[in-house]
Every structure is written in structure tokens, then in C-alpha cells.
Amino acid sequence: MELITKSDFKGNIKISQNTKETNDLDLYIKRNQENFFRDLIGDFQYNEILKIDAIDSNKYKSLVYGIDAYDNQFFYFDHNEIYTSYFGIIESLKYLIYWDYVRNLNAKPTSVGIRFADAENSIGSSQLQTNNVIEQRYNLGIEIYQEACNFLYNTDDKKLHYFDITEIGVSGEYLMIIKQEDLKNSLNFCSLLNVGDSFELDEIDYIIDSNDVGDVPDQCSIIFKANSGLSFENKYIHINPYKDFKTKQKNLSVLDGMF
């Protein structure tokens, strides 16, 4: 699973690609990426990612990039029914790798793109300036990480409203149609469901056999098996797309540059 490469470090996280110090940047990327995901979703879900190669799965695409199956910005209504946009965790991961890499450098700050005007500053002052920069990047990364934590908590045991359920040709197979409903989590959540995931309907768990999300505009089609001849009372299902995730909380730094 490779989400970030050395060439991604540009702009306000610029790391020059022409210096000897960047030879070990790949190691920082690999280490931080694994630690980041283990902190965010825990070992169980991290191992699930490794099984399927995260980015081949719609729900991990949504977690990482903040998009739904239609490549739209992901949104959800939180537990307080407040509309919330979610932008993914890629930028957070970049900021935290940058912070970890630069803080461990013994080379001059200019080799990774941090430049300050020459002045009568001591070496110590220049290091303090560098520390202030990487602390800012760290805090930016943590703010996005916290948004991802909120996303996970607000998609846990969540209602997903469906449009219709009908029994189809094969006895005991049901087709669930989901369309976006105003002010509700419905079609926006379909990309969080993989084949093999379970959902709860009328206090009974069912397994998703197929999920044709994105195949038809503005509609998701899910097939599941149950006893023939059923009718369903509730017009929503409960989902836990990131089942058994464990999140490690991270706080902003208030060290005022003293990393």
C-alpha cells in the first residue's frame, strides 16, 4: 500500500529532491504511514486494509481521500444531524511525515526548503525558527487527523435510509435500492459498504452479496439473502463500515516551537 511518494512533498511541506538527506525519506514515509493507520483505525482494521489493498475498496477510498463512489466530496450528517464535509486523511499524513522527517534532520533547514533571510541570528535561533515551522505543520496534520476521528465515530452504528427493498427472481434474494434523501445519510454512505460487510435491519443482521454503487447515477443497488417472503418494517438499516476500529487520540502541540 503506497499512498505517498517523495514527490508529494512540495508547497508548504517542500523537501528538496536533490539532497543527500532525502535518501532515507522513503523509510520515514513507510514508517509513518503504518503508524498513522494503526493509530487511526487500530490493528484489526489495518490488517483488513492490507488484505484487500486499501485503495481498491470504496470505504477506504472514502476514508483516505474524502470522496464517495461518484468522486464527489464526502459528506455526512453527524450524530447531532449537522451536515459535515469530510476531506480525507492524505494531507494529514503528509504533514506528519514532514514533521517527523525534518525534526530528525541534522542538516541545515534550507536543505528541505525552509529558508529565512540572513541576519545576525545564532544557530540556535535558526533552529527555533525551524521548530516553529514544523510545529505548525504538525498541528495542521493533527487537525485533519481529528476530523478523520470524527468521521469514524459518526459512521459507527449509523442509520442509512433506503428507498425500497424487493424480493427478486432467486428465492431468498432481496434487492435494496438506495437514493439520496434530503437531510439524511443514504446514498452518501453506500461507498462505505463492501461485499461481505453486514448491516442490521429490523434487529437482524444480513450480509451484503453485491453492491453496485456508482454503476447507476444517483442510485445504489445492494443484494442480500434472507428468508423468502419477508416484509420489512424499518425504512433504514444500521451500518458499522469500520467495525472494531480503535482510534488513538492525538492533541495539538502547544510547545511554541520547542520541539
Check whether residue 173 and residue 51 sit in a common domain.
no
Check whether residue 72 and residue 128 sit in a common domain.
yes
All three cell numbers of 203? 434487529
Check whether residue 86 and residue 185 sit in a common domain.
no
How do residues 129-163 score in pLDDT, each as one tens digit?
Answer: 778 888 999 999 999 999 999 999 999 999 999 99
Check whether residue 93 and residue 185 sit in a common domain.
no
How do residues 82-98 score in pLDDT, each as one tens digit?
Answer: 999 999 999 999 999 99
How do residues 11-48 score in pLDDT, each as one tens digit?
Answer: 989 887 766 666 789 999 999 999 999 999 999 988 88
Q: Which of 115, 138, 154 is the last residue of a domain?
A: 154
Let me know if residue 258 belongs to a domain: no
Check whether residue 21 and residue 78 sit in a common domain.
yes
Whole-prediction pTM: 0.86
Let me know if residue 25 belongs to a domain: yes
Q: How many domains in the chain?
A: 2
Which residues constitute the domain of residue 171? Answer: 158-239
